[in-house]
């Protein structure tokens, strides 16, 4: 009962803060848009370019899908959207990773709004793509996109050791001379187990390689934009909104959460 009360209190606080923020808007300066972002991956046989993924040396910041459940990663694309005509064509030729929309309210020119999202697809409980985008209102609408597209290899073991203060910390098997990655039918080599009072092995089944991508796109509203890349393709569209309508949409969405 106490936990439910705390959750309700948190929701009420968030709604109150957002309501105050919306009430303080200068209606002469504020602008509102509905942003649409579709991300898809091209099949390997559709590109002749050699794209190299980077080995992942640290697992820090790589979240399983369960940890994204509380993130505000946008609403699913409605049935009627600017991409409706492209959806069937793209779905037949590519794999759509995400199809998101956000209601954006910019208090003034130069304001920015950041959002995070991820692919619907996952392997071993980890999304195959994570992304964040920062929308900025200037002379044009700017989208600053950062993608991480992952590849998954065989699960490998990581080593944890107990430090002098008793805290368990991971040894990155790919960056230390004292350990090496091993599979179930191989032996750990070069591990100085005498250096640690306690040693444990954990299996890592998350992504093993990553392709980081960064795109910046500037456009006017009501213009369909395509960002091309041999691996990841992106469609972006902004629909102008009446400010009062946008405020109502954001307020209702906040209460619904």
Beta strands in the chain (DSSP E): 31-41, 54-55, 75-76, 95-106, 112-118, 122-123, 126-127, 129-137, 141-151, 156-162, 168-171, 199-204, 209-219, 225-227, 232-241
| Average pLDDT, integer, range 69-82 | 61
Higher pLDDT residue, 199 or 16? Answer: 199
Percent of the chain with pLDDT over 90: 47
3-class state of residue 47 by DSSP:
coil
Cα separation, 78 vs 178, in Å, equals 52
Given a cut of 60, is residue 193 above it in pLDDT?
A: no
Given a cut of 80, is residue 104 above it in pLDDT?
A: yes
Cα separation, 141 vs 49, in Å, equals 31
| Average pLDDT, integer, range 136-143 | 98
Given a cut of 80, is residue 120 above it in pLDDT?
A: yes
pLDDT band at 99; cut points 50, 70, 90 = very high
The predicted-structure confidence for 217-257, as pLDDT tens digits, reads as follows 999 999 999 999 999 999 999 999 999 999 999 988 776 66
Given a cut of 50, is residue 206 above it in pLDDT?
A: yes
The predicted-structure confidence for 25-42, as pLDDT tens digits, reads as follows 998 999 999 999 999 999
Residue 156 is predicted with a pLDDT of 58
**φ, ψ dihedrals at 65, nearest 5°:** -55, -35
Higher pLDDT residue, 32 or 124? Answer: 32
CA angle 67, 70, 71 (to 5 degrees): 90
**φ, ψ dihedrals at 27, nearest 5°:** -65, -20
| Contact indicator for 99, 83 with CB cutoff of 8 Å | yes
| Nearest Cα residue to 54 out of 148, 179, 131 | 148
Cα separation, 114 vs 98, in Å, equals 17
Higher pLDDT residue, 24 or 59? Answer: 59
| Nearest Cα residue to 207 out of 97, 103, 125 | 125
CA distances from 91 to 41, 86, 119 (A): 10, 8, 14
Residue 171 is predicted with a pLDDT of 41
Residue 77 is predicted with a pLDDT of 59
DSSP of 122-141: EETTEESEEEEEEEEESSSE
How far is Cα of residue 23 from the mean position of the Cα atoms in its chain? Answer: 30
Cα separation, 59 vs 175, in Å, equals 12
Cα separation, 149 vs 41, in Å, equals 9
Residue 185 is predicted with a pLDDT of 33
Mean pLDDT of all residues in the chain? 76
| Contact indicator for 211, 53 with CB cutoff of 8 Å | yes
| Contact indicator for 127, 68 with CB cutoff of 8 Å | yes
Higher pLDDT residue, 108 or 176? Answer: 108
């Amino acid at each position: 009962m106490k936990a439910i009360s705390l959750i309700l209190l948190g929701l009420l606080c968030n709604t109150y803060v957002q309501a105050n923020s919306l009430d303080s808007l200068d209606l002469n300066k504020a602008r509102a848009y509905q942003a649409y972002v579709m991300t898809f991956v091209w099949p390997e046989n559709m590109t002749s370019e050699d794209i190299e993924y980077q080995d992942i040396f640290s697992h820090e910041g790589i979240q399983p899908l369960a940890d994204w459940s509380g993130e505000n990663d946008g609403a699913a694309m409605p049935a009627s959207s600017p991409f409706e005509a492209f959806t069937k064509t793209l779905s037949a030729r590519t794999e759509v990773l995400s199809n998101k929309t956000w209601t954006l309210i910019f208090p003034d020119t130069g304001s920015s709004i950041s959002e995070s999202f991820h692919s619907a697809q996952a392997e071993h409980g980890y999304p195959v793509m994570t992304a964040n985008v920062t929308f900025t209102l200037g002379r044009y609408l700017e989208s600053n996109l950062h993608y991480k597209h992952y590849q998954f290899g065989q699960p490998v073991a990581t080593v944890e050791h107990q430090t002098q203060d008793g805290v368990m910390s991971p040894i990155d098997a790919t960056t230390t001379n004292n350990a090496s990655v091993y599979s179930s039918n191989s032996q750990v080599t070069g591990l100085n187990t005498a250096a640690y009072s306690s040693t444990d092995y954990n299996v890592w089944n998350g992504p093993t390689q990553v392709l980081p991508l960064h795109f910046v796109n500037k456009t006017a509203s009501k213009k369909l934009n395509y960002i091309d890349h041999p691996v990841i393709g992106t469609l972006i569209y902004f629909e102008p909104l009446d400010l009062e309508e946008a405020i109502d949409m954001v307020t209702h969405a906040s209460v619904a959460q």
